[in-house]
Structure 1
Amino acid sequence: MAASSERPRVLVLGGTGFIGRNFVHYLVTNELASKIRVADKVPPQMAWMNKRHLAAFSNPCVEFKHSNLINPTSVENAFASDDVPFDYVVNFAAETKYGQSEPVYHEGIVHLSENCAKVAARCKAKMYVEVTSGQMLSSEKKPYKEDSKLEPWTNLARHKLEVERLLGNIPDLTYTIVRPAVVYGVGDRQGLTPRLLIGAIYRYTKEKMKMLWTRDLHMNTVHVDDLSSAVWHLFTKGQSGQVYHLADKGNTTQGKISELVSQIFEIHYEFMGSILSTMARVNMSSVVEDINDKHMSPWADACQHDNIVNTPLTPFIDQELLYNKHLHMDGSKIEQTGFNYHYPELQLSNLRQVLDDYIQMGLFPKSLLTGDFQYTPTDDQEDEEH
């Protein structure tokens, strides 16, 4: 391992989020940086971190700076250094919730990223990595590539594409763009975890889990550790101005995810198919509202049973993520730079690890796995189901 003085200095924007915390842990455990500054509006102590991630943030080389990166002054302070500037900068910060308004996305994605990239250019960062979205094109038969004609299918991705385009117009910015597929791993809340929670709910409502569309709907995945190592790899191996997809070799589909979830919770499942799902789409907002309402009540009851007063986990899935849109990506371009995927496909053990971590933290009702909780629907819910 190189001496501390020879290791680079890394600025992690949005570093207490799901991907950011795992990246910080990756840097610390592999002793890759002499200094790591994390800039985020959420302190580590309030970010629902497990012991492993908190330990990484307690490392002497890690500095946390409270930052609202929508504010230009806060961005300047995040980059400020009394000695030498930061060598590498990665931006994980952005509005990540689906179903938000246009002004919220513009400010929390476009304005934020532009602020950060302009300062990175002025500070002459050796490489600035922007993490955007894989939801840039719905392609069923062929995985789409970095140079495909793009048609983003979520409002969030449309704003991420705007960021991608503006980066090329910032003078003196050395940058690469990473478009990840569905990111999973310890600390995930929005990727595959809602489907795990839904599987647990159906185990104890003793119903068959029914899903829209078909088992062949592509939902390509990438492990958060591979995303972390890819960002580090691109700091030195990425070509400025280039876009790199991150999607594992498993060509994950909705069917595969459902099968793994059913194995964990020993439940049965089926797909509504294209015809019935298309009929449901006519009144999609009402259908999605009913689906989420059906899941929230037993989830709340299970949390109450296990005395979980507060948890960031929710089985809620936004309407945009339930359309018949394929997340089907070709993740091979980055391999041409020498990068290797350590998690070639989604496995049962990966999902169990996520669950076990949340159980240990007291954020997931353990009774949903042990069978201690038996759900009894209300009279109103029984009437709805019949």
Structure 2
Amino acid sequence: MAPTVLLLGGVGFIGRNLVQYLLDKSLVETVRVADKALPATAYLNDAQKRLFTEDKRVEFRQANLTNAAAIEKVYTRDDGKEFDYVINLAAETKYGQSDEVYDERTYQLSVAVANEAAKRKVKVFVEVSTAQVYESDKKPSGEEGKVKPWTAVAKSKLKAEEELKKIPGLNLVILRPALVYGPGDVYGLTPRLIMGAVYRQLNEKMELLWTKDLKMNTVHVSDVARAIWHVSATTAEQGGRAGPVTGVEIYNLADHNDTDQGKVNNLIEIIFGIKTGFQGTMISQFAKLNLEAVTEDVNDKHLQPWSELCKSAGVANTPLTPYLDKELLKDNALSVDGTKIEKTLGFGYLVPTMTEAGLREVVAGFVESGTWPKGTTK
């Protein structure tokens, strides 16, 4: 019989794509999705809406997973059995929140749901973290690389990772994806795509800080979904171990594109028919010293034209914004070696490089759902 899965935070970007993958491939008997957000208000695409509302294999539970009683409730099945796999995608993923918010919604939440998994002796618990936990470096970080998280999201994730490793009897696998993009992506590459649409509207050259070589390694959401399933199934087969090494297994997820700002800009030029470039050393050094003011200026420049684009196209409600938090405007390199999962578990990336078609698919998905104005691309 196919396994049963509890998916925490499953209405979000990665979660909705994972649900679609599991059901399209008939990999599960049931998947219970627990999230504080309701599918009806989460801007799902039409196919995903149908899965959440019509597919009998999906059970949705609205739950605030910072609450102990809510955690116990979502773990409890009607038949008295336990879930085979628990996948934790529940976290505060929005940038620019307070430390208290990340502590409660990421760190404390992860520890609480992992303790419940250990208590119930689930076969596998997958914690989806982030590759932003590694020290910013041009050289790709492997799983043993130096950790020095450079966003508040990553700090809370690393703290959670360390605590989860100490939980007795937890069959833990940690995944650290690079920048995740694909249909439904709001905070990854999409703000840059929106900027492309804005500069097309303004008929101006789009010039970014730093240089074309600044690494921002990527992984497609479909490969993240496949990797989550791959490590879950492999770990269960091996009795609670993913791979040949005892103890906690950690896997990076990064495609073969070795994505940097230059590669992203090249595709934005093609998609939006604009010119792009970089500000140069002097302006970038000034920005480094005045990041607060520069962030404000950058966002002021983009927010109004985007708002006008949406208004003129009749887009009344959208989760999309070109707003970039100052944490993401810093010159931190995201350079990740994602080959361990290939070498040790036989996983293969089906989207090894970022393509024009792949980014156009992101825009087209938002246009279809009515959250992106029509006619912004070339």
TM-score (ref. length: structure 2): 0.95
Alignment pair present for 1:147 and 2:144:
yes
Residue by residue, what CA displacement relative to the aligned partner does 1:334-374 show, whole Å, maximum 9, x if unpaired? 1121111101011110000011111111110114237xxxx
Report the AA paired with residue 329 of structure 1. V
Look up the match of 1:79.
Answer: 75
Given that residues 135 and 146 in structure 2 are in contact (C-alpha distance below 8 angstroms), is that contact kept between their aligned partners in structure 1? no
Look up the match of 2:346.
Answer: 338
Quote the RMSD (CA, aligned, Å). 1.1
Look up the match of 2:92.
Answer: 95
Look up the match of 2:297.
Answer: 290
Determine the C-alpha separation between the residues in 1 that align with 2:281 and 2:60.
48
Which aligned pairs between 1:248-263 and structure 2 lie closer than 5 A? 248-263=255-270
Look up the match of 1:69.
Answer: 65
What's the secondary structure of 1:315's corresponding residue? coil
CA shift for structure 1 position 103: 0.6
Of 336, 353, 356, which aligns to 1:329? 336
Of 12, 21, 24, which aligns to 1:17? 12
Look up the match of 1:54.
Answer: 49
Determine the C-alpha separation between the residues in 2 that align with 1:153 and 1:89.
28
Report the AA paired with residue 268 of structure 1. K
Determine the C-alpha separation between the residues in 2 that align with 1:264 and 1:349.
9
Determine the C-alpha separation between the residues in 1 that align with 2:165 and 2:38.
32
Which aligned pairs between 1:143-182 and structure 2 lie closer than 5 A? 143-182=140-179
Alignment pair present for 1:363 and 2:371:
yes
Determine the C-alpha separation between the residues in 2 that align with 1:242 and 1:268.
44
CA shift for structure 1 position 136: 1.6
Look up the match of 1:127.
Answer: 124
Determine the C-alpha separation between the residues in 1 that align with 2:138 and 2:45.
40
CA shift for structure 1 position 275: 3.3
Look up the match of 1:114.
Answer: 111
Residue by residue, what CA displacement relative to the aligned partner does 1:225-253 show, whole Å, maximum 9, x if unpaired? 10000000001322451110000011000
Determine the C-alpha separation between the residues in 1 that align with 2:10 and 2:133.
24
What's the secondary structure of 2:377's corresponding residue? helix
Look up the match of 1:242.
Answer: 249
Given that residues 138 and 215 in structure 2 are in contact (C-alpha distance below 8 angstroms), is that contact kept between their aligned partners in structure 1? no
Task: Using the aligned pairs only, state the percent identity.
Answer: 46
Report the AA paired with residue 282 of structure 1. L
Aligned residues between the structures: 365
The runs of 5 or more residues in structure 1 that have no matched partner are 1-5, 371-386
Report the AA paired with residue 102 of structure 1. D
Given that residues 306 and 367 in structure 1 are in contact (C-alpha distance below 8 angstroms), is that contact kept between their aligned partners in structure 2? no
Alignment pair present for 1:310 and 2:307:
no
Report the AA paired with residue 74 of structure 1. A
Determine the C-alpha separation between the residues in 1 that align with 2:369 and 2:168.
45
Report the AA paired with residue 310 of structure 1. N
CA shift for structure 1 position 123: 1.0
Given that residues 302 and 367 in structure 1 are in contact (C-alpha distance below 8 angstroms), is that contact kept between their aligned partners in structure 2? no
Q: Call closer, same or farther: CA 1:141–1:42 in 2, change over 3 Å.
A: closer
CA shift for structure 1 position 140: 3.5
Deviates more, 1:272-281 or 1:295-304: 272-281
Given that residues 16 and 42 in structure 1 are in contact (C-alpha distance below 8 angstroms), is that contact kept between their aligned partners in structure 2? yes
Determine the C-alpha separation between the residues in 1 that align with 2:134 and 2:84.
33
Given that residues 114 and 125 in structure 2 are in contact (C-alpha distance below 8 angstroms), is that contact kept between their aligned partners in structure 1? yes
Determine the C-alpha separation between the residues in 1 that align with 2:174 and 2:374.
39
The runs of 5 or more residues in structure 2 that have no matched partner are 235-241
What's the secondary structure of 2:26's corresponding residue? coil
Of 249, 263, 281, which aligns to 2:288? 281
Given that residues 245 and 329 in structure 1 are in contact (C-alpha distance below 8 angstroms), is that contact kept between their aligned partners in structure 2? yes
Report the AA paired with residue 266 of structure 1. G
CA shift for structure 1 position 139: 4.2
Determine the C-alpha separation between the residues in 1 that align with 2:248 and 2:177.
17
Determine the C-alpha separation between the residues in 1 that align with 2:307 and 2:5.
41
Given that residues 138 and 328 in structure 1 are in contact (C-alpha distance below 8 angstroms), is that contact kept between their aligned partners in structure 2? no
Given that residues 273 and 377 in structure 2 are in contact (C-alpha distance below 8 angstroms), is that contact kept between their aligned partners in structure 1? no
Alignment pair present for 1:226 and 2:223:
yes
Determine the C-alpha separation between the residues in 2 that align with 1:17 and 1:159.
18
Report the AA paired with residue 71 of structure 1. N
Given that residues 214 and 260 in structure 2 are in contact (C-alpha distance below 8 angstroms), is that contact kept between their aligned partners in structure 1? yes
Moved over 4 A (4+): none
Determine the C-alpha separation between the residues in 2 that align with 1:367 and 1:229.
33
Deviates more, 1:157-166 or 1:272-281: 272-281
Residue by residue, what CA displacement relative to the aligned partner does 1:249-272 show, whole Å, maximum 9, x if unpaired? 110001000110111001001111
Look up the match of 1:8.
Answer: 3
Look up the match of 2:28.
Answer: 33
Report the AA paired with residue 193 of structure 2. L
CA shift for structure 1 position 46: 1.0
Look up the match of 1:209.
Answer: 206
